[in-house]
């Protein structure tokens, strides 16, 4: 596909998406501050279909408005509740609020059941329940999507006929994790960070994904390293905050016909070697970008087994949990 056609396809999709935003003021903010980057551009340049159009924002304040818009829609239309947290200070306040509410619930339940429990014991139980919040890190440029039950929420599977019968809107949120909001019809809002285009693509791991488009300027920015990687279908690791995630993503690209040399793998391994994966905070952050809900469950299960990683060695359970969740898949 030509560069001109690639830009036209992306702009057409983006403009169609904009029409779905009922808040006119927000629609204009999205138009002005959105950045489209990642694998969709690479796929289109190679004449392939893309999975999702990944939308980032150059402004955290706009990102927060967008997140608020979609979490409100989700919470108004589903039984599960999604909360977004803007920074570490808000996270601590939210944790205190959850713990206080849990203490009240424990004490009320104990009174009803005529159990003998002290306030200190109730506080200890509540702290254990929400201890996992201590292992969450929030990028200062992004927000954290908090789903209280399982870490993810997903719209139930429906046929096209059911969707039409219920008159569900296009581009509604259908899947939310702690770092992204996926909309129907192949749009994904990245929530974990924001920034100028260069700040965004420097977080990407493979060269071929580092082209980007700025809709407000109708500008598709291509770089030589990315185009070279696309032309040769060779994976070139350019460094990332999430090398473990990059190793998992490597398999996806190999399935698509890319090749990778030993040196590129070695770069990922060396970078990963600097990180202590037995620290559940580090492990959780490293898995944040992996395209699999299994990883959310993996971290959740590991946390539960080790009571937050404080009382037992994570190594004692990693093998058991991987076998349980992935079986022969990994």
Low-confidence ranges of the chain (pLDDT < 50): 292, 309, 311, 329-330
For the chain, what is the HEC assignment? CCHHHHHHHHHHHHHHHHCCCCCHHHHHHHHHHEEEECHHHHHHHCCCCCCCEEEEECCHHHHHHHHHHHHHHHHHHCCCCEEEECCHHHHHHHHHHHHHHHHHHHHHHHHHCCCCCCHHHHHHHHHHHCHHHHHCCCCCCCCEEEECCCCCEECCCCCHHHHHHHCCCCCCEEEECCCEEEECCCEEEECCCCCCHHHHHCCCCEHHHCCEEEHHHCEEECCHHHHHHHHHCECCECCCCCHHHHHHHHHHHHHCCCECCHHHHHHHHHHHHCCCCCCHHHHHHHCCCCCCHHHHHHHHHHHHHHCCCCCCCCHHHHHHHHHHHHCCCC
pLDDT of residue 112: 74
Residue 12 burial (10 A CB sphere; 0-12, 13-18, 19+): exposed
- Write the CA distances from 187 to 14, 96, 111, integer angstroms: 9, 34, 49
As given in the structure block, the two tokens for residue 108 are 């009320």
Half-sphere exposure of 19 (CA within 13 A, CB side): 7
How do residues 94-125 score in pLDDT, each as one tens digit? 888 888 988 988 888 877 776 778 888 888 88
Q: What is the C-alpha to C-alpha distance for residues 1 and 326, in angstroms, rounded to an integer?
A: 37
User: In this predicted structure, what is the pLDDT of residue 330?
Assistant: 43
Distance between the two ends of the chain, CA-based, in angstroms?
A: 34
C-alpha 85/C-alpha 144 separation (Å) is 5
Instruction: Give the Cα separation of 178 and 191 in Å (integer).
Output: 8
The gap from C-alpha 173 to its chain's centroid, in whole angstroms, comes to 13
pLDDT at residue 229, as a whole number: 95
Beta carbons within 8 Å of 27's beta carbon, 6+ residues apart: 18, 21
Q: Give the number of other CB atoms < 10 A from CB of residue 142.
A: 23
State the CB neighbour count (10 A cutoff) for residue 18. Answer: 16
pLDDT at 102: 87
> How would you class 173 by CB atoms within 10 Å of its CB: exposed for 0-12, middle for 13-18, buried for 19 or more?
buried
Q: Are 284 and 276 in contact (CB under 8 A)?
A: no
């Amino acid at each position: 596909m030509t560069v001109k056609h690639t830009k036209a396809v992306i702009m057409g999709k983006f403009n169609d998406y904009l029409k779905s935003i009922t808040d006119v003021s927000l629609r204009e903010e999205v138009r002005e501050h959105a950045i489209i980057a990642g694998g969709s551009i690479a796929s289109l340049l190679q004449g392939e279909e893309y999975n999702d159009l990944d939308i980032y924002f150059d402004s955290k304040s706009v990102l927060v408005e967008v997140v608020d818009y979609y979490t409100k829609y989700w919470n108004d239309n589903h039984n599960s509740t999604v909360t977004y947290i803007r920074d570490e200070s808000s996270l601590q306040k939210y944790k205190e609020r959850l713990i206080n509410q849990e203490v009240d619930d424990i004490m009320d339940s104990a009174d009803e059941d005529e159990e003998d429990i002290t306030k200190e014991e109730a506080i200890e139980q509540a702290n254990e329940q929400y201890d996992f919040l201590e292992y969450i890190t929030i990028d200062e440029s992004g927000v954290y999507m908090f789903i209280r039950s399982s870490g993810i929420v997903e719209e139930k599977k429906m046929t096209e006929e059911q969707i039409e019968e219920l008159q569900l809107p296009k581009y509604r949120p259908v899947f939310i994790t702690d770092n992204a909001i996926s909309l129907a019809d192949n749009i994904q809002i990245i929530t974990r960070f924001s920034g100028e285009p260069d700040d965004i693509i420097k977080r990407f791991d493979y060269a071929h994904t580092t082209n980007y488009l700025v809709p407000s300027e109708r500008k598709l920015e291509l770089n030589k390293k990315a185009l070279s990687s696309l032309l040769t279908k060779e994976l070139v690791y350019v460094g990332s905050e999430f090398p473990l995630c990059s190793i998992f993503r490597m398999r996806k690209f190999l399935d698509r016909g890319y090749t990778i040399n030993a040196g590129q793998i070695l770069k990922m391994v060396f970078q990963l070697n600097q990180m202590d994966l037995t620290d559940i905070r580090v492990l959780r952050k490293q898995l944040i970008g992996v395209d699999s809900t299994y990883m959310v469950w993996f971290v959740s299960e590991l946390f539960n087994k080790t009571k937050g990683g404080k009382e037992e060695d994570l190594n004692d359970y990693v093998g058991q949990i991987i076998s349980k969740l992935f079986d022969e898949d990994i």
